[in-house]
Amino acid sequence: MRYLCVMFPRHILWVAFIALLFASCEKKIDFPLKEADGLLSVDASIESGQVPMVVLTRSINFFSNVTPRILSDAMVRNATVTIKEGNTAIPLKKMEIPFPGNLSYVYYTYDTTGADPVIRGAEGKRYELNIQWEGRTYTANTTIPMLKKTIDSLWWEKAPLSEDTSNKIVLRGLFVDPPAFGDYVRYFTKVNQEPFYPGSNSAFDDLLVNGTTYEVEIPRSLDRNTRENFEDRPTFRRGDTITVKFSNIDKATFEFWRTVEFSYRAAGNPFSSPVKILGNISNGALGYFGGYANQFKSIIIPPL
């Protein structure tokens, strides 16, 4: 009987051996996904000259099939919410906006049309949030900083690599940072009649620009729920009226949005590191309570 002897290079045999070794060690692991109890999620803020706005929801499971009904049902309607500034504590009123299909959006604030006293945001003031819900108490505090870091001026330039007949432009700004470290900001843009949207990377500290006057491009902000596309840099256009909302914030507000936005940008990236969202609500609740000292500056871009 004859045998056919085939010679393989040693490096190929070694690779094949390693592959078989790993294949033989492969094991399928199934993780049972438990239904977690809903945690309180808090989206609360107070801005200079404005009354506080508090949105409370019950968290839903990560793999839930999110629908308008599920979102409406997740709104917390039975909480007692109080804002305190100094020795003055005033309860907030539940407001409900109805939508078709017996759905509604719920938030807590003041009824500014009535005669009841209200607390409005003021620079340099500290505020405490107290939430009573289902037998538990949740607290948080924030400060509206003094408006120290500011926009000096805005201007526009033709977008790089665009044709001479293109409507696309980029917005640039000159910013002034005070000499002491520890200034934190968040920016928003509004185009024409759109709402203010935060930038995809909207929160910054002054680690690299402390005590300087610096120039930087201001990217257009888009609605993350419907139109955000990180592969296509959003630009402004000739004829736009652009308003920049530039907010001084405290460190806790900065840390919350810095970690939220990093997690948002890393979603779906298998090589990214896990991110812990740094909220400031007590008793295991999710979310944040933040204060904003706002500056607004607008520019009208002439049509082509």
List pLDDT tens digits, range 55-101.
999 998 777 778 889 999 999 999 999 999 999 999 999 999 999 99
Q: What letter would DSSP give residue 180?
A: S
Confidence of residue 273 (pLDDT cuts 50, 70, 90): low
Q: What is the structure's pLDDT at 2?
A: 42
Q: What is the structure's pLDDT at 121?
A: 97
- Pairing mode, strands 197-204 and 184-191: antiparallel
pLDDT average, residue stretch 273-280: 85
Q: Which domains does the chain have, with CATH numbers?
A: 40-143 (2.60.40), 150-278+293-300 (2.60.40.10)
Measured distance CA(179)–CA(182) in Å, rounded = 10
Measured distance CA(6)–CA(243) in Å, rounded = 74
Measured distance CA(6)–CA(8) in Å, rounded = 7
Q: Looking at the DSSP assignment, which residues form a beta bridge with residue 215?
A: 174
Q: Where on the phi/psi map is residue 138: left (φ > 0), alpha (ψ -120 to 50), or beta? A: beta
Q: What is the structure's pLDDT at 248?
A: 98
For the stretch 215-259, pLDDT in tens is 999 999 988 776 555 445 578 999 999 999 999 999 999 999 999
For the stretch 279-290, pLDDT in tens is 999 999 999 999
pLDDT average, residue stretch 17-26: 49
pLDDT average, residue stretch 169-180: 96
Q: Where on the phi/psi map is residue 135: left (φ > 0), alpha (ψ -120 to 50), or beta? A: left
Is 8's pLDDT higher than 60? no
Q: pTM to 2 decimals?
A: 0.83
Q: What is the structure's pLDDT at 26?
A: 54
User: What rounded mean pLDDT belongs to the chain?
Assistant: 86
